[in-house]
Amino acid sequence: MAVVINKVGVIGSGQMGNGIAHVAALAGLDVVLNDVSDDRLKSAMATINGNLSRQVVKKIITDDARKQALNRIATSDTMEGLADCDLVIETAVEKEDVKRKIFHDVCAVLKPEAIVASNTSSISITRLAASTDRPERFIGIHFMNPVPLMELVELIRGIATDDTTFEAAKEFVSRLGKQIAVSEDFPAFIVNRILLPMINEAIYTLYEGVGNVEAIDAAMKLGAHHPMGPLELADFIGLDTCLSIMQVLHEGLADSKYRPCPLLVKYVEAGWLGRKTQRGFYDYRGEKPVPTR
């Protein structure tokens, strides 16, 4: 059964969720943004407004478009608020048990033909799909960070994903003005399969004392023309997310070359998760980021 996507639910209003809500609303879709508390939703709406306003200043969108986009986003801290969505995208923390519980709860309120997607960076789409009542209407829609700026979205079919779901997801992503890369359902898909081992290696380079934070980032920015250094990028992605992806690669591919660097584990244990907690490989609490090693 073909599905026309007019209303999109986004579960998790963190850095990815607020970005997905932002681009979907700008593309003219109705959005319901969900999170565990009203406080998180308020701060997500403030972030979305701030990011839209920045686009107005840069003349990428008009102020009228900003206002209309904001009006298209409703918030809800219950699953019932998502009941009439045609597509729901889960983008909560990268923990399989949390995601499974979300799918269990949301599928109970959705109409049978609604499509369910995960923005997971690394977890098997086939396995997540199998835990729902609709594996054929389940798909991976993997956005890049920051969502309003990055052109690419990876689409990942699980074994059971049917053609109408895949076509509807393609149409949805195109409507957002994004390009598609189709990836097979293997750990971390394409972008993160390549990117995360590089970041992990940069952390090993720091751990083994080959270079300090500044030297490693400068080396890759100036020596390989990367727009951000790998440690700066790790802070931007979130060190907990980086660690989860390395663990999925390590376990999923059973190859020791993917073992997470102990220093990455230590930063996560300290709660130094990067920009979102103000400290990671850099300390962001002052005017300028200061390396922490």
**DSSP secondary structure code for residue 259 in this structure:** P
> Which residues make beta-bridge pairs with 274?
279
How many other β-carbons are positioned within 10 Å of the β-carbon of residue 127?
14
Q: Can residue 86 be called a binding residue for ligand NAD (CB under 6 A)?
A: no
Site string for ligand NAD, 219-238 (x = CB under 6 A): ------------------xx
Q: Can residue 200 be called a binding residue for ligand NAD (CB under 6 A)?
A: no
- Which of 3, 10, 11, 116 touches ligand NAD (CB under 6 A)? 11
How many other β-carbons are positioned within 10 Å of the β-carbon of residue 191?
16
Our CB check for ligand NAD shows the closer of 38 and 63 to be 38
Q: Can residue 15 be called a binding residue for ligand NAD (CB under 6 A)?
A: yes
Q: Can residue 139 be called a binding residue for ligand NAD (CB under 6 A)?
A: no
Q: Can residue 194 be called a binding residue for ligand NAD (CB under 6 A)?
A: no
Q: Can residue 158 be called a binding residue for ligand NAD (CB under 6 A)?
A: no
Q: Can residue 16 be called a binding residue for ligand NAD (CB under 6 A)?
A: yes
Residues in CB range of 249: below 8 A, 6 or more apart = 122, 187, 188, 193, 196, 197, 258
Task: Choose the stretch contacting ligand NAD; rule: CB under 6 A; options: 28-36, 108-116, 132-140, 246-254.
Answer: 28-36
Distance CA 263, CA 268 (A): 9
Tokens of 126: 């086939």
Apex 41 CA angle, 238 and 140, nearest 5: 55
Q: Can residue 47 be called a binding residue for ligand NAD (CB under 6 A)?
A: no
Our CB check for ligand NAD shows the closer of 119 and 161 to be 119
Residue ranges that bind ligand NAD, judged by CB under 6 A? 11-17, 34-36, 40, 91-94, 98, 102, 119-121, 142-143, 145, 237-238, 241, 276
